[in-house]
Chain A
Amino acid sequence: MRQELPMILAFIVGILMIVSFFFTSETLGEAARTVENWGVIVAAFALGLASINLIQIHAKKITRGKGLDWLYSGALLFSMIGMAVLGIAKGPTHPTYQFWFDALFVPGQATVYAMTGFFIASAAYRAFRIRNLDSAILLVSAAILMLANVPVGEKIWSQFPAMGEWLMNVPNLAGQRGMLIGAGIGGIASGIRVLLGIERTYLGGSGS
């Protein structure tokens, strides 16, 4: 029952979402709206889960960690609790809140993402090899697109932008569309498996 009841719940709400879309019925529409609204509220609760996990992990690190772990974990918990208290008490548009958001969060995450620029350069040097026809096609199309996407490409050869556009809008379009349709069919198939309870890993159990 601990598995079956949640599965039945998933089936009912899932089918409701699908049926209410394809059939015009005031009752079904109203039910779907209510369930959607409930989903938003439940999803909002889920936002706190990560914080509990972080508290569990980093509280342990503060007491039992090595070296400077206490400092890093302490800083993490302090900044988390500080932001949460400030935001809940004063609101997320309060100047002090926005100040810390802009001064710490934005540059921190933006730079972590930006660092991948260095890593991709290193990977381009070490791993991007022409070993066969597939990798040759991949490399040539990447090179054309990289030149087509920047003004210097046009300076080198005036046809690079046109080539890049063709590559993007013809063969790339076909490839992406094939994968999009394939993923769509696959997504629907696995969605049906989830709704029918064949696939239940999301409940923490094994598959079928």
Chain B
Amino acid sequence: MQISTDLGVWIAAIATIGILSFAFKDNPLYRLVENVYVGVSAGHALVLGWINIRDQGIGPLIDDGDWSLLVPIALGILLYTRFFKKISWLSRFPLAMLVGIGTGLAIRGTIGSQIVNQIKSTILPLNSINNAIIIFGTLGVLIYFFFSREHTGPLKHVSTFGRCIMMVSFGAAFGSTVMGRMALLINRLHFLYANWLGIIR
């Protein structure tokens, strides 16, 4: 086990240390690495965007003579009118199209996956405490967010139970977040110790 002689590993190690150094204090190396990686990221998006336009739009338009593709290509170009004040309103058309498709797809999928199937899976036999918690907990959370009627009487108790159940969920989310963030740090430290310095395997 010895220190790496790979140029890529060295650059990656300097980038890693550069970003980590921010924990100590803001410094020029951190800023440089941050800017370079943002630049690489934007460049990468451009490349992938171009490949999609080429393979999905320009390619079939020229090779197969599919002239209907001129419509999305024209709409795509209209997105860039937002940088010219006088004609910036034209960029609303492609945006409206993207929003329309996205909203339509989300609505049709949400009804089945997020509402019907979830309700179906909540209809459990009331033969155990766990099932009761799942049923009344789900109901309690829904009632907690139901603002059309004042939460008094039995409604208040159900919504308070829902609130407690949500607190458990937020606790679970916090616990899981800690696990995730530590895993990310482990990954970077492992890279430094194993791939770069070679002090561990």
Contacts and interface: CB of A to CB of B under 8 A. Distances in A.
Given A102-B12, A109-B41, A37 B163 contact: no
A51 to B, nearest CB: 5
A143 to B, nearest CB: 7
A177 B95 contact: no
Given A42-B94, A115-B20, A10 B39 contact: no
Contacts of B107: 14, 17-18, 187-188, 191-192
A13 B100 contact: yes
Contacts of B139: 178
A179 B46 contact: no
B191 to A, nearest CB: 7
Contacts of A16: 104
A137 B46 contact: no
Interface residues of B, number: 113
Contacts of A181: 114-115, 118-119, 138, 142
A38 B96 contact: no
Interface residues on A, range: 35 or more
A46 B168 contact: no
Interface in A107-150: 107-118, 120, 124, 128, 133-135, 137-146, 149-150
Contacts of A47: 45-46, 48-49, 52
Interface string B167-191: 1111110111111011011011001
A203 interface: yes
Contacts of B33: 108
B98 interface: yes
A105 B44 contact: yes
Given A9-B93, A41-B76, A111-B188, A73 B35 contact: yes
Contact of B175 (A34, A38, A111, A141): A141
A41 B57 contact: yes
B15 A44 contact: no
A45 B76 contact: yes
Contacts of A152: none
A35 B37 CA distance: 35
A76 interface: yes
Given A39-B98, A113-B184, A175-B168, A17 B108 contact: yes
Contacts of B48: 44, 47, 87, 92
A40 interface: yes
B188 A104 contact: no
Interface of A: 2-3, 5-7, 9-18, 21-22, 34-52, 54, 56, 68, 71-73, 75-84, 87-88, 92, 97, 99-118, 120, 124, 128, 133-135, 137-146, 149-150, 166-168, 170-185, 187-188, 191-192, 194-195, 202-204
Closest 7 CB pairs of A and B: A178-B141, A174-B137, A17-B104, A83-B43, A108-B37, A45-B76, A141-B171
Given A108-B34, A143-B175, 11 more contacts: A48-B80, A49-B82, A80-B40, A100-B40, A114-B185, A116-B181, A142-B175, A146-B179, A174-B138, A178-B138, A187-B110
20 contacts: A9-B93, A12-B100, A39-B72, A45-B79, A46-B76, A87-B43, A104-B12, A108-B19, A116-B184, A124-B178, A128-B174, A137-B167, A142-B175, A145-B171, A171-B169, A172-B172, A185-B115, A187-B106, A191-B104, A191-B106
